Structure 1
Protein backbone atom coordinates (compact mmCIF):
# COMPACT_ATOMS: atom_id res chain seq x y z
CA UNK A 1 0.00 0.00 0.00
CA UNK A 2 1.42 3.36 -1.06
CA UNK A 3 -0.27 6.66 -0.24
CA UNK A 4 0.76 10.03 -1.68
CA UNK A 5 0.31 12.91 0.76
CA UNK A 6 -0.01 15.83 -1.64
CA UNK A 7 0.50 19.42 -0.50
CA UNK A 8 -2.81 20.88 -1.64
CA UNK A 9 -2.05 24.36 -0.27
CA UNK A 10 0.64 24.66 -2.90
CA UNK A 11 -1.78 23.45 -5.56
CA UNK A 12 -4.27 26.20 -4.81
CA UNK A 13 -1.73 28.96 -5.31
CA UNK A 14 0.33 27.35 -8.06
CA UNK A 15 -2.61 26.69 -10.39
CA UNK A 16 -4.22 30.03 -9.59
CA UNK A 17 -1.11 32.03 -10.52
CA UNK A 18 -0.23 29.88 -13.52
CA UNK A 19 -3.63 30.46 -15.07
CA UNK A 20 -4.13 34.14 -14.28
CA UNK A 21 -2.94 37.12 -16.28
CA UNK A 22 -3.10 40.71 -15.11
CA UNK A 23 -3.72 43.45 -17.63
CA UNK A 24 -3.33 47.14 -16.91
CA UNK A 25 -4.78 50.02 -18.91
CA UNK A 26 -3.06 53.38 -18.96
CA UNK A 27 -6.28 55.29 -18.30
CA UNK A 28 -7.56 52.92 -15.57
CA UNK A 29 -7.09 54.24 -12.04
CA UNK A 30 -8.50 51.09 -10.47
CA UNK A 31 -5.44 48.97 -11.15
CA UNK A 32 -4.94 45.82 -13.25
CA UNK A 33 -7.73 43.38 -14.01
CA UNK A 34 -7.39 39.61 -13.81
CA UNK A 35 -7.97 37.41 -16.83
CA UNK A 36 -8.44 33.84 -15.65
CA UNK A 37 -8.59 30.50 -17.44
CA UNK A 38 -10.72 28.23 -15.22
CA UNK A 39 -11.04 25.33 -17.67
CA UNK A 40 -7.28 25.11 -18.15
CA UNK A 41 -6.69 25.30 -14.39
CA UNK A 42 -9.19 22.54 -13.64
CA UNK A 43 -7.70 20.27 -16.29
CA UNK A 44 -4.21 20.95 -14.91
CA UNK A 45 -5.41 20.07 -11.41
CA UNK A 46 -6.80 16.71 -12.49
CA UNK A 47 -3.72 15.97 -14.62
CA UNK A 48 -1.40 16.84 -11.72
CA UNK A 49 -2.93 14.26 -9.41
CA UNK A 50 -3.35 11.62 -12.13
CA UNK A 51 0.26 11.95 -13.28
CA UNK A 52 1.56 11.60 -9.73
CA UNK A 53 -0.54 8.50 -9.13
CA UNK A 54 0.72 6.97 -12.38
CA UNK A 55 4.34 7.93 -11.71
CA UNK A 56 4.47 6.21 -8.34
CA UNK A 57 1.85 3.53 -9.06
CA UNK A 58 0.25 4.66 -5.82
CA UNK A 59 -2.85 3.09 -4.30
CA UNK A 60 -4.28 6.21 -2.69
CA UNK A 61 -3.69 9.91 -2.11
CA UNK A 62 -4.63 12.54 0.46
CA UNK A 63 -4.96 16.32 0.15
CA UNK A 64 -4.20 18.20 3.39
CA UNK A 65 -5.36 21.82 3.40
CA UNK A 66 -4.78 24.76 5.73
CA UNK A 67 -7.70 26.57 7.36
CA UNK A 68 -8.00 30.17 8.53
CA UNK A 69 -7.09 29.43 12.17
CA UNK A 70 -3.50 28.68 13.18
CA UNK A 71 -2.07 27.74 16.59
CA UNK A 72 1.22 29.49 15.78
CA UNK A 73 -0.57 32.85 15.74
CA UNK A 74 -1.48 32.29 19.38
CA UNK A 75 2.20 31.72 20.16
CA UNK A 76 3.42 34.64 18.07
CA UNK A 77 0.78 37.09 16.76
CA UNK A 78 3.08 38.32 13.99
CA UNK A 79 3.27 34.85 12.43
CA UNK A 80 2.37 35.30 8.74
CA UNK A 81 1.24 38.85 9.53
CA UNK A 82 3.12 39.96 6.41
CA UNK A 83 0.37 38.31 4.36
CA UNK A 84 -2.45 40.31 5.96
CA UNK A 85 -4.35 42.37 3.45
CA UNK A 86 -2.96 40.53 0.45
CA UNK A 87 -5.76 39.59 -1.93
CA UNK A 88 -5.82 36.03 -3.22
CA UNK A 89 -6.25 35.64 -6.95
CA UNK A 90 -9.85 34.92 -7.92
CA UNK A 91 -8.88 31.56 -9.38
CA UNK A 92 -7.60 30.42 -5.96
CA UNK A 93 -11.21 30.07 -4.83
CA UNK A 94 -12.11 28.07 -7.94
CA UNK A 95 -9.22 25.64 -7.38
CA UNK A 96 -10.14 25.32 -3.71
CA UNK A 97 -13.70 24.46 -4.69
CA UNK A 98 -12.66 21.90 -7.31
CA UNK A 99 -10.33 20.13 -4.88
CA UNK A 100 -13.17 19.73 -2.38
CA UNK A 101 -15.71 18.83 -5.06
CA UNK A 102 -13.62 16.27 -6.94
CA UNK A 103 -11.98 14.61 -3.96
CA UNK A 104 -14.06 15.37 -0.90
CA UNK A 105 -13.04 12.09 0.71
CA UNK A 106 -9.33 12.86 0.20
CA UNK A 107 -9.31 16.36 1.71
CA UNK A 108 -8.16 16.66 5.33
CA UNK A 109 -8.59 19.89 7.29
CA UNK A 110 -8.35 20.53 11.00
CA UNK A 111 -8.89 23.70 12.99
CA UNK A 112 -5.71 25.51 14.10
CA UNK A 113 -3.46 23.32 11.95
CA UNK A 114 -1.74 24.18 8.69
CA UNK A 115 -1.77 21.77 5.80
CA UNK A 116 1.95 21.23 6.46
CA UNK A 117 1.14 20.01 9.98
CA UNK A 118 -1.39 17.50 8.66
CA UNK A 119 1.22 16.25 6.18
CA UNK A 120 3.68 15.87 9.04
CA UNK A 121 1.28 14.05 11.33
CA UNK A 122 0.34 11.60 8.59
CA UNK A 123 3.82 11.06 7.18
CA UNK A 124 5.51 10.40 10.52
CA UNK A 125 2.81 8.18 12.03
CA UNK A 126 3.66 4.55 11.26
CA UNK A 127 0.08 3.51 12.04
CA UNK A 128 -1.91 6.35 10.48
CA UNK A 129 -5.39 5.06 9.67
CA UNK A 130 -5.78 7.39 6.70
CA UNK A 131 -2.34 6.51 5.33
CA UNK A 132 -1.45 2.91 6.17
CA UNK A 133 1.68 1.36 4.75
CA UNK A 134 4.23 3.32 2.72
CA UNK A 135 3.90 7.06 2.23
CA UNK A 136 5.44 9.75 0.05
CA UNK A 137 5.10 13.47 0.76
CA UNK A 138 4.64 15.52 -2.41
CA UNK A 139 5.53 19.17 -2.00
CA UNK A 140 7.78 21.96 -3.23
CA UNK A 141 7.84 23.46 0.28
CA UNK A 142 11.32 23.50 1.84
CA UNK A 143 9.77 23.02 5.29
CA UNK A 144 8.99 19.40 4.43
CA UNK A 145 12.70 18.73 4.92
CA UNK A 146 12.08 18.98 8.66
CA UNK A 147 10.06 15.76 8.51
CA UNK A 148 11.26 12.18 8.60
CA UNK A 149 10.11 10.21 5.59
CA UNK A 150 10.15 10.13 1.81
CA UNK A 151 9.73 13.39 -0.08
CA UNK A 152 9.20 14.16 -3.76
CA UNK A 153 9.51 17.73 -5.04
CA UNK A 154 7.64 18.07 -8.39
CA UNK A 155 9.69 21.17 -9.22
CA UNK A 156 12.92 19.18 -8.91
CA UNK A 157 12.15 15.77 -10.43
CA UNK A 158 15.86 15.18 -11.07
CA UNK A 159 16.29 14.68 -7.31
CA UNK A 160 13.94 11.72 -7.35
CA UNK A 161 12.32 10.67 -4.09
CA UNK A 162 14.47 11.77 -1.18
CA UNK A 163 14.60 9.83 2.06
CA UNK A 164 14.95 12.15 5.05
CA UNK A 165 16.45 10.63 8.18
CA UNK A 166 15.69 11.66 11.76
CA UNK A 167 19.12 13.30 11.99
CA UNK A 168 18.64 15.29 8.78
CA UNK A 169 15.10 16.35 9.70
CA UNK A 170 16.23 17.61 13.09
CA UNK A 171 19.20 19.42 11.58
CA UNK A 172 16.99 21.30 9.12
CA UNK A 173 14.49 22.13 11.87
CA UNK A 174 17.24 23.56 14.08
CA UNK A 175 18.66 25.51 11.14
CA UNK A 176 15.22 27.04 10.62
CA UNK A 177 15.09 27.84 14.33
CA UNK A 178 18.22 29.94 13.88
CA UNK A 179 17.47 31.59 10.54
CA UNK A 180 13.73 32.07 10.92
CA UNK A 181 11.55 32.32 7.83
CA UNK A 182 10.68 35.61 6.15
CA UNK A 183 7.88 33.91 4.20
CA UNK A 184 6.12 32.94 7.43
CA UNK A 185 7.30 36.10 9.22
CA UNK A 186 9.07 34.65 12.24
CA UNK A 187 12.54 36.09 12.84
CA UNK A 188 14.71 33.31 14.23
CA UNK A 189 17.89 34.58 15.88
CA UNK A 190 18.90 38.17 15.00
CA UNK A 191 21.62 38.51 12.33
CA UNK A 192 21.86 34.75 11.83
CA UNK A 193 21.53 33.80 8.17
CA UNK A 194 22.06 30.44 6.47
CA UNK A 195 25.88 30.68 6.43
CA UNK A 196 26.19 31.44 10.14
CA UNK A 197 23.58 28.81 10.98
CA UNK A 198 25.48 26.20 8.97
CA UNK A 199 28.72 27.18 10.70
CA UNK A 200 27.11 26.74 14.12
CA UNK A 201 25.30 23.47 13.49
CA UNK A 202 26.94 21.43 10.73
CA UNK A 203 30.02 20.51 12.80
CA UNK A 204 27.72 19.34 15.62
CA UNK A 205 25.58 17.40 13.19
CA UNK A 206 28.60 15.63 11.73
CA UNK A 207 30.05 14.88 15.16
CA UNK A 208 26.82 13.24 16.34
CA UNK A 209 25.81 11.66 13.04
CA UNK A 210 26.21 8.15 14.42
CA UNK A 211 24.68 8.99 17.79
CA UNK A 212 21.20 8.16 18.98
CA UNK A 213 18.67 10.68 17.50
CA UNK A 214 17.84 12.02 20.96
CA UNK A 215 21.52 12.72 21.70
CA UNK A 216 21.98 14.24 18.24
CA UNK A 217 19.05 16.62 18.77
CA UNK A 218 20.21 17.50 22.29
CA UNK A 219 23.62 18.49 20.92
CA UNK A 220 22.08 20.58 18.15
CA UNK A 221 19.76 22.26 20.64
CA UNK A 222 22.64 23.15 22.96
CA UNK A 223 24.41 24.79 20.01
CA UNK A 224 21.23 26.71 19.09
CA UNK A 225 20.83 28.02 22.65
CA UNK A 226 24.49 29.09 22.66
CA UNK A 227 23.90 31.19 19.54
CA UNK A 228 20.77 32.82 21.02
CA UNK A 229 22.55 33.60 24.26
CA UNK A 230 25.48 35.10 22.35
CA UNK A 231 22.97 37.62 20.98
CA UNK A 232 21.69 38.53 24.44
CA UNK A 233 18.59 36.35 24.16
CA UNK A 234 17.41 33.41 26.28
CA UNK A 235 16.57 29.76 25.91
CA UNK A 236 12.89 30.73 26.09
CA UNK A 237 13.37 32.91 23.02
CA UNK A 238 14.91 29.95 21.21
CA UNK A 239 12.08 27.64 22.32
CA UNK A 240 9.48 29.99 20.81
CA UNK A 241 11.27 30.06 17.45
CA UNK A 242 11.71 26.27 17.52
CA UNK A 243 7.96 25.83 18.07
CA UNK A 244 7.20 28.15 15.17
CA UNK A 245 9.65 26.31 12.91
CA UNK A 246 8.55 22.81 13.86
CA UNK A 247 6.11 21.13 11.48
CA UNK A 248 4.04 18.83 13.67
CA UNK A 249 5.13 15.20 13.85
CA UNK A 250 3.61 12.03 15.24
CA UNK A 251 2.91 12.65 18.92
CA UNK A 252 2.69 16.44 18.60
CA UNK A 253 -1.12 16.50 18.48
CA UNK A 254 -3.78 15.23 20.88
CA UNK A 255 -6.55 14.07 18.57
CA UNK A 256 -8.99 13.39 21.43
CA UNK A 257 -8.77 16.89 22.85
CA UNK A 258 -7.89 18.72 19.60
CA UNK A 259 -4.79 20.19 21.18
CA UNK A 260 -1.22 20.73 19.99
CA UNK A 261 1.42 19.24 22.28
CA UNK A 262 4.02 21.99 22.16
CA UNK A 263 7.63 20.89 21.91
CA UNK A 264 9.84 21.07 24.99
CA UNK A 265 13.63 20.51 24.99
Structure 2
Protein backbone atom coordinates (compact mmCIF):
# COMPACT_ATOMS: atom_id res chain seq x y z
CA UNK A 1 0.00 0.00 0.00
CA UNK A 2 1.31 3.45 -0.89
CA UNK A 3 1.79 5.47 2.28
CA UNK A 4 2.08 9.13 3.17
CA UNK A 5 5.22 11.13 2.40
CA UNK A 6 5.95 14.43 4.14
CA UNK A 7 7.55 17.01 1.86
CA UNK A 8 9.42 19.11 4.41
CA UNK A 9 10.60 22.62 3.58
CA UNK A 10 14.24 22.21 4.57
CA UNK A 11 15.25 25.71 3.43
CA UNK A 12 13.06 27.28 6.10
CA UNK A 13 14.17 24.69 8.62
CA UNK A 14 17.84 25.63 8.20
CA UNK A 15 17.13 29.26 8.98
CA UNK A 16 14.70 28.60 11.83
CA UNK A 17 17.08 26.33 13.72
CA UNK A 18 20.06 28.57 13.02
CA UNK A 19 18.35 31.66 14.42
CA UNK A 20 16.65 29.94 17.36
CA UNK A 21 19.97 28.54 18.58
CA UNK A 22 21.94 31.75 18.22
CA UNK A 23 22.02 34.40 20.91
CA UNK A 24 23.29 37.90 20.14
CA UNK A 25 25.07 39.70 22.96
CA UNK A 26 25.63 43.44 22.83
CA UNK A 27 28.40 44.49 25.17
CA UNK A 28 28.34 47.79 27.03
CA UNK A 29 30.23 50.41 25.08
CA UNK A 30 33.07 52.48 26.42
CA UNK A 31 32.73 56.24 26.12
CA UNK A 32 33.01 57.29 22.48
CA UNK A 33 33.13 53.73 21.17
CA UNK A 34 30.57 51.58 19.41
CA UNK A 35 29.15 48.71 21.41
CA UNK A 36 30.67 45.35 20.53
CA UNK A 37 28.31 42.63 19.35
CA UNK A 38 29.01 38.90 19.51
CA UNK A 39 27.06 35.74 18.77
CA UNK A 40 26.87 32.67 20.96
CA UNK A 41 25.75 29.55 19.12
CA UNK A 42 24.65 26.15 20.36
CA UNK A 43 25.27 23.65 17.57
CA UNK A 44 24.53 20.60 19.72
CA UNK A 45 21.08 21.91 20.61
CA UNK A 46 20.43 22.82 16.97
CA UNK A 47 21.14 19.23 15.97
CA UNK A 48 18.96 17.85 18.76
CA UNK A 49 16.15 20.26 17.81
CA UNK A 50 16.43 19.14 14.19
CA UNK A 51 16.10 15.46 15.09
CA UNK A 52 13.19 16.23 17.44
CA UNK A 53 11.43 18.27 14.76
CA UNK A 54 11.54 15.45 12.22
CA UNK A 55 10.62 12.78 14.77
CA UNK A 56 7.63 14.77 16.03
CA UNK A 57 6.34 15.32 12.50
CA UNK A 58 6.65 11.64 11.62
CA UNK A 59 4.86 10.65 14.82
CA UNK A 60 2.12 13.24 14.29
CA UNK A 61 1.32 11.97 10.80
CA UNK A 62 1.98 8.30 11.46
CA UNK A 63 4.55 7.82 8.73
CA UNK A 64 8.28 7.16 8.32
CA UNK A 65 8.53 8.60 4.82
CA UNK A 66 9.74 12.13 4.19
CA UNK A 67 11.83 14.17 1.77
CA UNK A 68 13.96 17.27 2.32
CA UNK A 69 14.12 19.50 -0.78
CA UNK A 70 16.86 22.14 -0.62
CA UNK A 71 17.73 25.15 -2.76
CA UNK A 72 21.01 25.47 -4.62
CA UNK A 73 22.94 28.65 -5.36
CA UNK A 74 21.70 28.98 -8.95
CA UNK A 75 18.15 30.18 -9.62
CA UNK A 76 16.26 30.31 -12.92
CA UNK A 77 14.20 33.31 -11.77
CA UNK A 78 17.29 35.53 -11.90
CA UNK A 79 17.27 35.02 -15.67
CA UNK A 80 13.66 36.27 -15.75
CA UNK A 81 14.25 39.19 -13.37
CA UNK A 82 17.91 39.96 -12.58
CA UNK A 83 16.95 41.76 -9.36
CA UNK A 84 15.14 38.68 -7.98
CA UNK A 85 16.39 38.19 -4.40
CA UNK A 86 19.14 40.74 -5.07
CA UNK A 87 18.20 42.36 -1.76
CA UNK A 88 19.81 39.36 -0.03
CA UNK A 89 23.18 39.76 -1.77
CA UNK A 90 26.00 40.41 0.63
CA UNK A 91 23.93 39.54 3.70
CA UNK A 92 25.73 37.01 5.84
CA UNK A 93 23.89 33.86 6.80
CA UNK A 94 23.74 33.06 10.50
CA UNK A 95 26.80 31.07 11.52
CA UNK A 96 24.71 28.04 12.49
CA UNK A 97 23.13 27.88 9.02
CA UNK A 98 26.14 25.96 7.77
CA UNK A 99 26.10 23.64 10.76
CA UNK A 100 22.39 22.83 10.32
CA UNK A 101 22.97 22.30 6.60
CA UNK A 102 25.68 19.81 7.52
CA UNK A 103 23.44 18.04 10.04
CA UNK A 104 20.68 17.59 7.44
CA UNK A 105 23.12 15.99 5.01
CA UNK A 106 24.77 13.91 7.72
CA UNK A 107 21.56 12.53 9.24
CA UNK A 108 19.41 12.01 6.13
CA UNK A 109 21.54 12.13 2.98
CA UNK A 110 19.09 9.88 1.15
CA UNK A 111 16.22 12.30 1.84
CA UNK A 112 17.90 15.42 0.42
CA UNK A 113 16.76 16.52 -3.05
CA UNK A 114 18.35 19.32 -5.05
CA UNK A 115 18.12 20.34 -8.70
CA UNK A 116 20.29 22.85 -10.55
CA UNK A 117 18.54 26.23 -11.04
CA UNK A 118 15.59 25.26 -8.81
CA UNK A 119 14.67 26.50 -5.37
CA UNK A 120 13.58 24.04 -2.73
CA UNK A 121 10.07 25.49 -3.11
CA UNK A 122 10.01 24.38 -6.74
CA UNK A 123 10.99 20.84 -5.84
CA UNK A 124 8.23 20.81 -3.24
CA UNK A 125 5.76 22.04 -5.85
CA UNK A 126 6.74 19.53 -8.50
CA UNK A 127 6.60 16.61 -6.07
CA UNK A 128 3.28 17.79 -4.67
CA UNK A 129 1.57 18.07 -8.05
CA UNK A 130 3.01 15.10 -9.98
CA UNK A 131 0.48 12.26 -10.30
CA UNK A 132 2.83 9.63 -8.86
CA UNK A 133 6.45 10.71 -8.37
CA UNK A 134 8.90 7.85 -7.93
CA UNK A 135 10.16 9.15 -4.58
CA UNK A 136 6.68 9.82 -3.18
CA UNK A 137 4.13 7.70 -5.05
CA UNK A 138 1.37 7.89 -2.46
CA UNK A 139 -0.28 10.71 -0.56
CA UNK A 140 1.80 13.80 0.14
CA UNK A 141 1.67 16.76 2.51
CA UNK A 142 3.89 19.82 2.26
CA UNK A 143 5.19 20.93 5.66
CA UNK A 144 6.13 24.61 5.60
CA UNK A 145 5.46 28.00 7.17
CA UNK A 146 6.12 29.70 3.80
CA UNK A 147 3.05 31.55 2.51
CA UNK A 148 4.12 30.80 -1.07
CA UNK A 149 3.09 27.18 -0.57
CA UNK A 150 -0.51 28.39 -0.82
CA UNK A 151 0.06 28.80 -4.57
CA UNK A 152 0.19 25.00 -4.88
CA UNK A 153 -2.80 22.67 -5.07
CA UNK A 154 -2.62 19.83 -2.57
CA UNK A 155 -2.35 19.31 1.15
CA UNK A 156 -0.41 21.75 3.33
CA UNK A 157 0.52 21.75 7.00
CA UNK A 158 1.92 24.91 8.58
CA UNK A 159 3.86 23.94 11.74
CA UNK A 160 3.75 27.59 12.81
CA UNK A 161 -0.06 27.38 12.98
CA UNK A 162 -0.77 23.85 14.24
CA UNK A 163 -4.32 24.74 15.29
CA UNK A 164 -5.32 25.10 11.63
CA UNK A 165 -4.34 21.51 10.96
CA UNK A 166 -3.76 20.16 7.47
CA UNK A 167 -5.39 22.22 4.73
CA UNK A 168 -6.42 20.98 1.31
CA UNK A 169 -5.86 23.70 -1.29
CA UNK A 170 -7.82 23.34 -4.53
CA UNK A 171 -6.39 24.34 -7.89
CA UNK A 172 -8.80 27.30 -7.96
CA UNK A 173 -7.54 28.50 -4.57
CA UNK A 174 -3.90 27.96 -5.54
CA UNK A 175 -4.31 29.92 -8.77
CA UNK A 176 -6.10 32.73 -6.93
CA UNK A 177 -3.23 33.08 -4.46
CA UNK A 178 -0.67 32.92 -7.27
CA UNK A 179 -2.42 35.72 -9.16
CA UNK A 180 -2.65 37.69 -5.90
CA UNK A 181 1.13 37.36 -5.57
CA UNK A 182 1.50 38.48 -9.17
CA UNK A 183 -0.33 41.69 -8.34
CA UNK A 184 1.14 42.39 -4.90
CA UNK A 185 4.70 41.15 -5.43
CA UNK A 186 6.92 39.93 -2.62
CA UNK A 187 9.40 42.22 -0.90
CA UNK A 188 11.19 39.24 0.64
CA UNK A 189 12.01 37.86 -2.81
CA UNK A 190 12.44 41.33 -4.32
CA UNK A 191 9.88 41.29 -7.11
CA UNK A 192 7.57 44.27 -7.00
CA UNK A 193 4.26 43.19 -8.48
CA UNK A 194 1.98 45.90 -9.86
CA UNK A 195 2.80 49.41 -8.60
CA UNK A 196 0.36 50.64 -5.98
CA UNK A 197 -1.42 47.30 -5.62
CA UNK A 198 -1.21 45.73 -2.18
CA UNK A 199 -3.39 42.97 -0.72
CA UNK A 200 -6.25 45.35 0.11
CA UNK A 201 -6.50 46.49 -3.50
CA UNK A 202 -5.79 43.10 -5.07
CA UNK A 203 -8.53 41.32 -3.15
CA UNK A 204 -11.53 43.20 -4.66
CA UNK A 205 -10.00 42.81 -8.12
CA UNK A 206 -9.64 39.03 -7.99
CA UNK A 207 -11.91 37.66 -5.26
CA UNK A 208 -15.23 38.31 -7.05
CA UNK A 209 -13.92 36.55 -10.16
CA UNK A 210 -12.74 33.61 -8.07
CA UNK A 211 -16.09 33.26 -6.31
CA UNK A 212 -18.06 33.54 -9.56
CA UNK A 213 -16.00 30.80 -11.23
CA UNK A 214 -15.63 28.26 -8.44
CA UNK A 215 -17.49 25.67 -10.52
CA UNK A 216 -15.78 26.58 -13.79
CA UNK A 217 -12.95 24.49 -15.27
CA UNK A 218 -9.58 25.50 -13.78
CA UNK A 219 -8.37 26.75 -17.18
CA UNK A 220 -11.29 29.19 -17.50
CA UNK A 221 -10.91 30.31 -13.89
CA UNK A 222 -7.20 31.06 -14.32
CA UNK A 223 -7.63 32.73 -17.71
CA UNK A 224 -10.21 35.11 -16.28
CA UNK A 225 -8.05 35.95 -13.27
CA UNK A 226 -5.11 36.55 -15.60
CA UNK A 227 -7.13 38.91 -17.78
CA UNK A 228 -7.95 40.97 -14.68
CA UNK A 229 -4.27 41.00 -13.68
CA UNK A 230 -3.22 42.24 -17.14
CA UNK A 231 -5.93 44.91 -17.11
CA UNK A 232 -4.64 46.13 -13.75
CA UNK A 233 -1.07 46.35 -15.01
CA UNK A 234 -2.22 48.20 -18.11
CA UNK A 235 -4.12 50.69 -15.93
CA UNK A 236 -0.72 51.58 -14.43
CA UNK A 237 0.85 52.18 -17.84
CA UNK A 238 2.50 48.75 -17.97
CA UNK A 239 2.06 45.81 -20.33
CA UNK A 240 1.09 42.16 -20.31
CA UNK A 241 4.80 41.36 -20.64
CA UNK A 242 5.46 43.20 -17.39
CA UNK A 243 2.72 41.18 -15.72
CA UNK A 244 4.14 37.95 -17.16
CA UNK A 245 7.58 38.59 -15.63
CA UNK A 246 5.97 38.97 -12.21
CA UNK A 247 3.74 35.91 -12.70
CA UNK A 248 6.74 33.77 -13.58
CA UNK A 249 8.61 34.96 -10.50
CA UNK A 250 5.58 34.29 -8.30
CA UNK A 251 4.83 30.83 -9.72
CA UNK A 252 6.17 27.92 -7.71
CA UNK A 253 6.82 25.19 -10.28
CA UNK A 254 4.25 22.44 -10.72
CA UNK A 255 4.10 19.18 -12.62
CA UNK A 256 5.03 19.81 -16.25
CA UNK A 257 6.98 23.01 -15.53
CA UNK A 258 10.33 21.19 -15.40
CA UNK A 259 12.00 18.75 -17.78
CA UNK A 260 13.97 16.23 -15.71
CA UNK A 261 15.88 14.98 -18.76
CA UNK A 262 17.19 18.35 -19.91
CA UNK A 263 17.05 20.26 -16.62
CA UNK A 264 15.12 23.01 -18.40
CA UNK A 265 12.31 25.02 -16.81
CA UNK A 266 9.21 25.33 -19.00
CA UNK A 267 8.20 28.89 -18.22
CA UNK A 268 4.47 29.48 -17.79
CA UNK A 269 2.64 30.88 -20.79
CA UNK A 270 -0.91 32.31 -20.56
The whole-number CA distance in structure 1 between the counterparts of 2:50 and 2:194 is 39
1:14 paired residue number? 16
The whole-number CA distance in structure 1 between the counterparts of 2:177 and 2:26 is 42
Contact 1:136–1:152 (8 Å) recurs in 2: yes
1:228 paired residue number? 233
CA displacement at 1:59 relative to structure 2: 3.4
CA displacement at 1:68 relative to structure 2: 0.6
The whole-number CA distance in structure 1 between the counterparts of 2:64 and 2:168 is 20
Contact 2:18–2:94 (8 Å) recurs in 1: yes
Matches within 5 A, 1:1-265: 1-25=3-27, 26-27=29-30, 29=34, 31-265=36-270
The whole-number CA distance in structure 1 between the counterparts of 2:176 and 2:36 is 45
The whole-number CA distance in structure 2 between the counterparts of 1:61 and 1:32 is 39
The whole-number CA distance in structure 2 between the counterparts of 1:203 and 1:234 is 23
The whole-number CA distance in structure 1 between the counterparts of 2:95 and 2:247 is 34
Q: Secondary structure at the match of 1:35?
A: strand
Residues 192 and 212 (structure 1 numbering): CA distance in 2 closer, same or farther, change over 3 Å?
same
Q: What is the aligned length? A: 265
Contact 1:126–1:133 (8 Å) recurs in 2: no
Residues 31 and 121 (structure 1 numbering): CA distance in 2 closer, same or farther, change over 3 Å?
farther
Q: Secondary structure at the match of 1:105?
A: helix
CA displacement at 1:172 relative to structure 2: 0.2
After superposition, the CA RMSD in angstroms is 1.0
Contact 1:73–1:79 (8 Å) recurs in 2: yes
The whole-number CA distance in structure 1 between the counterparts of 2:80 and 2:183 is 17
CA displacement at 1:127 relative to structure 2: 1.3
Cα-to-partner distance string for 1:45-85 (whole Å, 9 max, x where unaligned):
00000000000002300000011100001111100011111
Unaligned runs of 5+ in 1: none
CA displacement at 1:29 relative to structure 2: 5.0
- How does the TM-score come out when normalised to structure 2? 0.97
Q: Secondary structure at the match of 1:186?
A: coil
The whole-number CA distance in structure 2 between the counterparts of 1:215 and 1:93 is 45
Q: Secondary structure at the match of 2:140?
A: strand
Q: Secondary structure at the match of 2:66?
A: strand
Runs of 4+ in 1 over 3 A off after TM superposition: 27-31
The whole-number CA distance in structure 2 between the counterparts of 1:108 and 1:31 is 40
